[in-house]
C-alpha cells in the first residue's frame, strides 16, 4: 500500500510539473520546442525510463523527426523514423492508435535479474482528428508499464499534442504574416480581377504606384481604368488569349490617378472552372521604366558603335589618299619655291587637305580608332588655358565663368584630345546661346557608384575627375537629347555644322575609358559632364621633340598596299639619301627581308594589309632577326593587338602625316641603339 502511495505521489508531482511546463509553453510561443524538451526530460527522469521522445510527423507524412528527446540509452534515439521502417513508432503514426510492445531486444540495460525484458509504448499526438506526431516511451521494468504509468503517458501525450499544435499554429501564423508582408510590400503590383475586368484585390504596392486608396479601387475600378489600351493589349483579345492559354504576358501603359503613365509588364494567370470558363484572374504589373531606358541606351550605343565602325573604315581610305595629297603637295611646293606662280595654289591645296585631315581625325576619334598619347594631366590647368583661348574668340556678350575645384586628381589623358573635347562642348554651347549668355566650366572629383552605373549604360564605378560645361541656351527636348552623340546629326542649318562635334566628344571620352552625360530641357540650357578616371600618377614635364629632319644612307623597306602612299614614301626617303626597297604586301616583305639577310636597316609597314598585316609582319621579322627595326603606320586600325605593340615600344606613326615628320621619325629610330629600340617606347603620332 505504501509503494502505491509513493508511486501516486511521484506521478502526481510529474503531472504538476508537466502542467506547469504546458502553461509556460502556451504563454511563450517563441520557445515552444525548448520548453517541450524540458518537459520530456522531467517525464523521463521521474519514471526512470530509458528514453522519452516526442516526434513530429512531416508534411509529406513519410517520416517522423525528433523534436524533444531525453535519455538516449538506445543507439537509434533521436533518429528520423521512416514510416516504412515498421516498429511501434511508425505503426502508431500510420494507424493512429497506441502501440505497446515487449521485446527482449529492448533490454539494453541489465536490470540485475535474469530473464528481464523491456517495453515500448508509442502514443499518437493529435491535432483534432489528425495525427501530428508520436510520444515514444521505452522502459525497462519487468512486467512493462502499469496502469498508473499508462495514464500518465496518456496525460503527457495530450499536453505534448497541445505543445506541437501551438508550435504549428505559431509557424503557420509567422509564415502567413511573412507572406502578407511580401505581398503588400513587394516591388511589383499584385492584383486580381473578374472576367469582366473588375478589380477584386490589389496589394499596397500596387495601390501606391497607382495613387489610389483601397476603397477607391476594390470593386469599383476595372483593369481598363488602370491600363491604357494599345496594339499589344486590347481587352477582348487579351481575355480571349488568356482563356485559351491560361497565362498571358504583355506590355502596357499604366495610367496613374494624376494622369501620368508608366510602362509596365503585366503577367496574368487565369483560374478556370471545370468547363474551361475563366473564374478569376491573378496578375502582376512591373514598372519597366528603367529597363526601357537601359534598352534605349543599349540600342543607341550599338547604333553609335556600328556607325563608328563604318566611319573608321571610310577614314582608313581617306587617310591613305590624304597622305599622298599632303605629301606630294609638300614636295611640289619645296621643288617650285615660294616665288613660283603656282606656289600659292598648292598652298591652298595643302590647307584644304589639312582641313580634310582634321575632319577624318574627328571620324577616327568618334570611332575610337585613333591613337591617344596618354600622359598624366592636370585638368584645371588645361581648362584655364582653354578658357583663355575662348575669351579671345567668343563674343564679348558671352560671359565665361570658371568654377574649378581647388585641387583635382590627376587623370591620364591625351592633352590635345581632351582640349578638343572642351572646345567642342563650348562651341556647341555658343551656338545654342547665340550672341548672348553665360558659359560655365566646372571641375571636381567624384565617385560613380553602382546606382549611377546601372542607370547610365557604359559607365563604370570608380573615382573620376569631371569637367562640366553648362550654357544658358535654348536647350533640347528629350528626342534631340537622345541623338546628340550620333555622327552627322545636327540641329543647325545646312552648311553650318557637320554633326561631328559631339560625336567626336563621345568617341574621345570613350577611348579614355570615361563617360559623358548630358542634361537639358527646352528653354533651360544644357549641361554636359565628362568623367575621366583618376590615374594616381604625378605629372611629368615633357621635353620638346627636335624639329629638324636629317637624312642618311641606310636601306629602308617600304611595305604598303596603297601605291600612292608607297610611291610618296619612296620619293621622300630617296630624296634624303636613303636606299629604298618596296613590297606590296607582308608576304613579299618577308621574302625580301630573308634575301637581304640583315641588309635592311628599317621596315616601314602599313598595319592594315591583306593576308599578312603589319603586326603579324612585325612578329615574323622579329622571329627571323631579333634586331629588326620596324615602324608601323596606319590611318585607321587601333586594335587591341596594335595597342599592345605600341605599349611595348614598337614605333608607330599615324596617317596622314607631314613628310618632314616621317623623315624625323625614321632618323630617330635608326639612331637609337638596338636595346633601346626594343625596350623604349618610341611610338609617335602625327596628324599633319
Q: pLDDT above 70 covers what percent of the chain?
A: 76
Residues of the chain with CATH 3.30.565.10: 375-533
Q: Quickly state the pLDDT bin for 578 (edges 50, 70, 90).
A: very high
- Apex 460 CA angle, 459 and 463, nearest 5: 115
- What pLDDT does 551 receive? 83
CATH number for the segment(s) 555-679: 3.40.50.2300
Question: What confidence tens digit (pLDDT) does each residue in 584-618 have?
Answer: 888 998 999 988 877 899 999 988 888 888 888 88
- What pLDDT does 636 receive? 63
Look at residues 64, 8, 15, 73 and name the one whose alpha carbon lies nearest to residue 39. Answer: 15
Beta-carbon contacts of residue 184 (< 8 Å; ≥ 6 apart): 203, 204, 205
Look at residues 145, 150, 142, 89 and name the one whose alpha carbon lies nearest to residue 117. Answer: 142
Question: What confidence tens digit (pLDDT) does each residue in 101-117 have?
Answer: 775 454 444 444 444 45
All three cell numbers of 549, joined, read 629632319
- Residue 648 carries which DSSP code? T
Higher pLDDT pick, 353 / 452: 452
As assigned by CATH, the class of the 2-178 domain is: alpha beta
Contact call for residues 430 and 439 (beta carbons, < 8 A): yes
Summary mean pLDDT of the chain: 78
Q: Which one of 170-174, 356-360, 485-489, 584-588 scores highest in mean pLDDT? A: 584-588
- What pLDDT does 442 receive? 92
Question: What confidence tens digit (pLDDT) does each residue in 406-457 have?
Answer: 888 888 888 878 888 888 888 888 888 887 888 999 999 999 988 888 778 7
Q: pLDDT above 90 covers what percent of the chain?
A: 9
Q: Please report, for residues 307, 558, 603, the alpha-carbon distance to residue 590 in angstroms, rounded to integers and kept in the order given.
A: 35, 12, 10
Mean pLDDT computed over 511-535: 89
Mean pLDDT computed over 247-255: 85
pLDDT at 634 over 90: no
- What pLDDT does 426 receive? 87
Instruction: Write the burial class of residue 115 (CB in 10 Å: 0-12 exposed, 13-18 middle, 19+ buried).
Output: exposed
Look at residues 676, 615, 307 and name the one whose alpha carbon lies nearest to residue 488. Answer: 307
- What pLDDT does 151 receive? 84
Residues of the chain with CATH 3.30.450.40: 2-178
Q: Please report, for residues 238, 253, 267, 289, 386, the alpha-carbon distance to residue 264 in angstroms, rounded to integers and kept in the order given.
A: 15, 6, 10, 7, 47
Mean pLDDT computed over 564-591: 89
Look at residues 242, 243, 236 and name the one whose alpha carbon lies nearest to residue 266. Answer: 242
For the CA atoms of the chain, what is the radius of gyration?
Answer: 43
- Report, at the CATH architecture level, how domain 375-533 is classified: 2-Layer Sandwich (3.30)
- What pLDDT does 293 receive? 72
- What pLDDT does 225 receive? 83
Q: Quickly state the pLDDT bin for 164 (edges 50, 70, 90).
A: confident
pLDDT at 681 over 70: no
Mean pLDDT computed over 261-265: 87
Lowest-confidence segment of 185-199, 539-553, 590-604, 661-675 by average pLDDT:
539-553
- Report, at the CATH architecture level, how domain 189-287 is classified: 2-Layer Sandwich (3.30)
- What pLDDT does 467 receive? 93
Look at residues 288, 386, 314, 316 and name the one whose alpha carbon lies nearest to residue 634. Answer: 316
Mean pLDDT computed over 13-20: 60
Q: Please report, for residues 77, 282, 666, 674, the alpha-carbon distance to residue 56 in angstroms, rounded to integers and kept in the order given.
A: 14, 35, 89, 84
Residues of the chain with CATH 3.40.50.2300: 555-679
CATH topology of domain 294-366: Helix Hairpins (1.10.287)
Q: What is the pTM of this model?
A: 0.42
Mean pLDDT computed over 660-680: 73
- What pLDDT does 2 receive? 45
- What pLDDT does 302 receive? 64
HSE-up (13 A, CA, CB side) for residue 582: 15
Higher pLDDT pick, 118 / 124: 124
Q: Which one of 14-28, 312-326, 578-592 scores highest in mean pLDDT? A: 578-592
Residues of the chain with CATH 1.10.287.130: 294-366
Q: Quickly state the pLDDT bin for 244 (edges 50, 70, 90).
A: confident
Question: What confidence tens digit (pLDDT) does each residue in 188-207 have?
Answer: 888 888 888 888 988 888 88
- What pLDDT does 531 receive? 93
Residues of the chain with CATH 3.30.450.20: 189-287
The CA distance from 531 to 409, in Å, is: 12
All three cell numbers of 360, joined, read 577624318
Lowest-confidence segment of 24-33, 249-258, 375-384, 442-451 by average pLDDT:
24-33
Higher pLDDT pick, 370 / 345: 345
- What pLDDT does 103 receive? 59
Amino acid at each position: 500500500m505504501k509503494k502505491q502511495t509513493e508511486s501516486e505521489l511521484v506521478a502526481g508531482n510529474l503531472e504538476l510539473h508537466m502542467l506547469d511546463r504546458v502553461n509556460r509553453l502556451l504563454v511563450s510561443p517563441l520557445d515552444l520546442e525548448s520548453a517541450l524538451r524540458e518537459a520530456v526530460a522531467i517525464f523521463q527522469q521521474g519514471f526512470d525510463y530509458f528514453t522519452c521522445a516526442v516526434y513530429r510527423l512531416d508534411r509529406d507524412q513519410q517520416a517522423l523527426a525528433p523534436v524533444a528527446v531525453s535519455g538516449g540509452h538506445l543507439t537509434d534515439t533521436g533518429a528520423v523514423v521512416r514510416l516504412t521502417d515498421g516498429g511501434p513508432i511508425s505503426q502508431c503514426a500510420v494507424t493512429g492508435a497506441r502501440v505497446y510492445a515487449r521485446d527482449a531486444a529492448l533490454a539494453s540495460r541489465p536490470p540485475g535479474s535474469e530473464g528481464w525484458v523491456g517495453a515500448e509504448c508509442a502514443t499518437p499526438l493529435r491535432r483534432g482528428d489528425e495525427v501530428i506526431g508520436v510520444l515514444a516511451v521505452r522502459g525497462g521494468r519487468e512486467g512493462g508499464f502499469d496502469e498508473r504509468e499508462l495514464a500518465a503517458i496518456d496525460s503527457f501525450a495530450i499536453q505534448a499534442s497541445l505543445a506541437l499544435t501551438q508550435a504549428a499554429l505559431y509557424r503557420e501564423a509567422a509564415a502567413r504574416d511573412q507572406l502578407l508582408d511580401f505581398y503588400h510590400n513587394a516591388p511589383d503590383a499584385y492584383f486580381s480581377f473578374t472576367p469582366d475586368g473588375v478589380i477584386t484585390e490589389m496589394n499596397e504596392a500596387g495601390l501606391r504606384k497607382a495613387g489610389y486608396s483601397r476603397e477607391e479601387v476594390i470593386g469599383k475600378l476595372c483593369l481598363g481604368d488602370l491600363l491604357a489600351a494599345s496594339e499589344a493589349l486590347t481587352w477582348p483579345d487579351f481575355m480571349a488569349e488568356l482563356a485559351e492559354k491560361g497565362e498571358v504576358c504583355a506590355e502596357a501603359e499604366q495610367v496613374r490617378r494624376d494622369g501620368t503613365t508608366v510602362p509596365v509588364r503585366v503577367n496574368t494567370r487565369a483560374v478556370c472552372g471545370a468547363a474551361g470558363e475563366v473564374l478569376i484572374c491573378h496578375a502582376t504589373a512591373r514598372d519597366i521604366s528603367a529597363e526601357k531606358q537601359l534598352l534605349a541606351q543599349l540600342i543607341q550605343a550599338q547604333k553609335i558603335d556600328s556607325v563608328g565602325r563604318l566611319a573608321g573604315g571610310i577614314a582608313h581610305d581617306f587617310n591613305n589618299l590624304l597622305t599622298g595629297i599632303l605629301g606630294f603637295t609638300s614636295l611640289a611646293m619645296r621643288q617650285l619655291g615660294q616665288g613660283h606662280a603656282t606656289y600659292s595654289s598648292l598652298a591652298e591645296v595643302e590647307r584644304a587637305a589639312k582641313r580634310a585631315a582634321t575632319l577624318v581625325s574627328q571620324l577616327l576619334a568618334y570611332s575610337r580608332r585613333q591613337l591617344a598619347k596618354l600622359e598624366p594631366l592636370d585638368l584645371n590647368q588645361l581648362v584655364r588655358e582653354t578658357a583663355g583661348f575662348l575669351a579671345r574668340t567668343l563674343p564679348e556678350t558671352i560671359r565665361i565663368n570658371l568654377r574649378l575645384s581647388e585641387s583635382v586628381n590627376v587623370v591620364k589623358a591625351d592633352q590635345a584630345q581632351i582640349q578638343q573635347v572642351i572646345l567642342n562642348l563650348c562651341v556647341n554651347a555658343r551656338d545654342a546661346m547665340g550672341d548672348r549668355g553665360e558659359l560655365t566650366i566646372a571641375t571636381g572629383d567624384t565617385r560613380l557608384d553602382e546606382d549611377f552605373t546601372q542607370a547610365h549604360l557604359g559607365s563604370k564605378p570608380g573615382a573620376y575627375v569631371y569637367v562640366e560645361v553648362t550654357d544658358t541656351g535654348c536647350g533640347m527636348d528629350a528626342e534631340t537629347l537622345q541623338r546628340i552623340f550620333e555622327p552627322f546629326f545636327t540641329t543647325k542649318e545646312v552648311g553650318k555644322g557637320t554633326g561631328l562635334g559631339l560625336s567626336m566628344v563621345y568617341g574621345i571620352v570613350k577611348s579614355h575609358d570615361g563617360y559623358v552625360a548630358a542634361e537639358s530641357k527646352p528653354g533651360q540650357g544644357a549641361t554636359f559632364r565628362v568623367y575621366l578616371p583618376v590615374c594616381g600618377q604625378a605629372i611629368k614635364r615633357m621635353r620638346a621633340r627636335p624639329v629638324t629632319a636629317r637624312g642618311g644612307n641606310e636601306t629602308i623597306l617600304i611595305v604598303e598596299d596603297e601605291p600612292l602612299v608607297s610611291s610618296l614614301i619612296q620619293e621622300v626617303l630617296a630624296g634624303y639619301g636613303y636606299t629604298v626597297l618596296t613590297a606590296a604586301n607582308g608576304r613579299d616583305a618577308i621574302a625580301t627581308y630573308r634575301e637581304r639577310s640583315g641588309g635592311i636597316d628599317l621596315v616601314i609597314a602599313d598595319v592594315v594589309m591583306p593576308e599578312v598585316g603589319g603586326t603579324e609582319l612585325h612578329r615574323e621579322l622579329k622571329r627571323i632577326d631579333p634586331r629588326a627595326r620596324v615602324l608601323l603606320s596606319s590611318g585607321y586600325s587601333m586594335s587591341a593587338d596594335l595597342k599592345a605593340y605600341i605599349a611595348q615600344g614598337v614605333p608607330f606613326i599615324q596617317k596622314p602625316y607631314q613628310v618632314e615628320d616621317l623623315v624625323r621619325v625614321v632618323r630617330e629610330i635608326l639612331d637609337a641603339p638596338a636595346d633601346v629600340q626594343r625596350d623604349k617606347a618610341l611610338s609617335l603620332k602625327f596628324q599633319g
